[in-house]
């Protein structure tokens, strides 16, 4: 399992945000994370990438034990993750290639030829193979988000955490980004995507989990605008979902 959480209590300082969290996500799974603002989505994501400590319960992410992980090991956990933000967070004074070079050097890459080869590979993966020389302001919003996805793929992560990745994009561009993310998941990457975009969720159907009333529940059926669904039930082990259309 890429994510395996059992009986976890998720806190912000001393405030209990989510209680008794149980969820498993396997390689190649695409899972939506939904819930009202303040329901715990961000706290869950922050726990997964080591920004919030896990004090109660158990969890492993990409084979790292979140209960026992030392602070000095968190950068190694994050190298196994790719994070896609809504607001891009690109360095505006550097070209696309230089943005990606910065990340690779920060994570231990040193050989120029290998850096250039890896950058070209991920840019081709996201359909921007000829745009490495461009600066962020020269790209459309959709192209900038593709750069962000390329950045997330640089270190060949097992898991991509996407936080409202289509939030700043028009509907057509949003669908292009969704197609790209689903293509990535089909290559074996687990993707957990926080979103409020009900239209996209119902068009690109996949497994959905919801933060609600301080708990994490599995959602079945079409998602409604208010994030009420036809059925909600406690999150279950994905190994028991064989045969379901996720």
Low-confidence ranges of the chain (pLDDT < 50): 228-246
Buried/exposed 117-156: b ≥16 CB within 10 Å, e otherwise: ebbeebbebbebeebbebebeebeebbbbbbbbbbbbbbe
Q: pLDDT value at position 246?
A: 32
Instruction: Identify whether residues 174 and 211 lie together within a single domain.
Output: yes
Does 152 share its domain with 70? no
178 and 151 in one domain?
no
Which one of 138, 156, 174 terminates a domain?
156
| Contact present, 34 and 44 (Cβ < 8 Å) | no
Same domain, 140 and 188: no
Residues 23 and 76 in one domain: yes
Q: Are residues 174 and 93 in the same domain?
A: no
pLDDT of residue 226: 53
Output the pLDDT for position 225. 60
Residue 229 and residue 174 share a domain = yes
For residue 117, the Cα-to-chain-centroid distance in whole angstroms is 25
Return the closest-CA partner of residue 25 out of 61, 74, 78: 61
CATH number for the domain spanning 41: value is: 3.40.50.300
The residue from 156, 175, 203 where one domain ends is 156
Is 128 found in the same domain as 42?
no
Instruction: Give me the helix-helix angle, 141-153 and 171-186, nearest 10°.
Output: 20
Asked if 165 and 73 sit in the same domain, the reply is: yes
Q: Are residues 165 and 75 in the same domain?
A: yes
pLDDT tens-place string over residues 202-246: 999 999 999 999 999 999 866 666 554 434 444 444 344 333 333
β-pair partners for 82: 160
Q: For position 55, what pLDDT does the model report? A: 86
Q: Are 222 and 229 in contact (CB under 8 A)?
A: yes
Task: Please state, in angstroms and rounded to a whole number, the distance separating the CA atoms of residues 138 and 166.
Answer: 19
Q: Which domain range does residue 220 map to?
A: 1-80+158-246
Q: Are residues 2 and 110 in the same domain?
A: no
How many other C-beta atoms can be found within 10 angstroms of the C-beta atom of residue 218? Answer: 20
- Specify the pLDDT at position 240: 40
Domain total of the chain? 2
């Amino acid at each position: 399992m890429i994510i395996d959480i059992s009986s976890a209590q998720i806190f912000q300082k001393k405030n209990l945000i989510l209680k008794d969290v149980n969820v498993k996500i396997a390689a190649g799974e695409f899972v939506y994370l939904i819930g009202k603002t303040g329901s715990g989505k961000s706290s869950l994501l922050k726990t997964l990438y080591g920004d919030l400590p896990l004090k109660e319960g158990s969890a492993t992410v990409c084979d790292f034990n979140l209960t026992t992980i030392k602070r000095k090991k968190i950068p190694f956990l994050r190298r196994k993750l790719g994070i896609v933000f809504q607001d891009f967070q690109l360095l505006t004074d550097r070209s696309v290639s230089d943005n990606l070079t910065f990340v690779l050097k920060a994570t231990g890459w040193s050989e120029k030829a290998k850096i250039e080869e890896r950058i070209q590979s991920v840019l081709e993966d996201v359909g921007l193979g000829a745009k490495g020389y461009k600066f962020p302001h020269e790209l459309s919003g959709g192209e900038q988000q593709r750069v962000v996805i390329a950045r997330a793929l640089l270190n060949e992560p097992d898991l991509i955490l996407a936080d409202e990745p289509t939030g700043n994009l028009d509907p057509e561009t949003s669908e292009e980004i969704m197609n790209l993310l689903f293509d990535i998941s089909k290559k074996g990457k687990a993707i957990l995507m926080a979103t409020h975009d009900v239209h996209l969720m119902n068009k690109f159907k996949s497994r959905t989990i919801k933060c609600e009333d301080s708990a994490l529940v599995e959602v079945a059926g079409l998602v409604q605008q208010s994030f009420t669904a036809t059925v909600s039930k406690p999150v279950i082990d994905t190994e028991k979902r064989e045969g379901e259309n996720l």
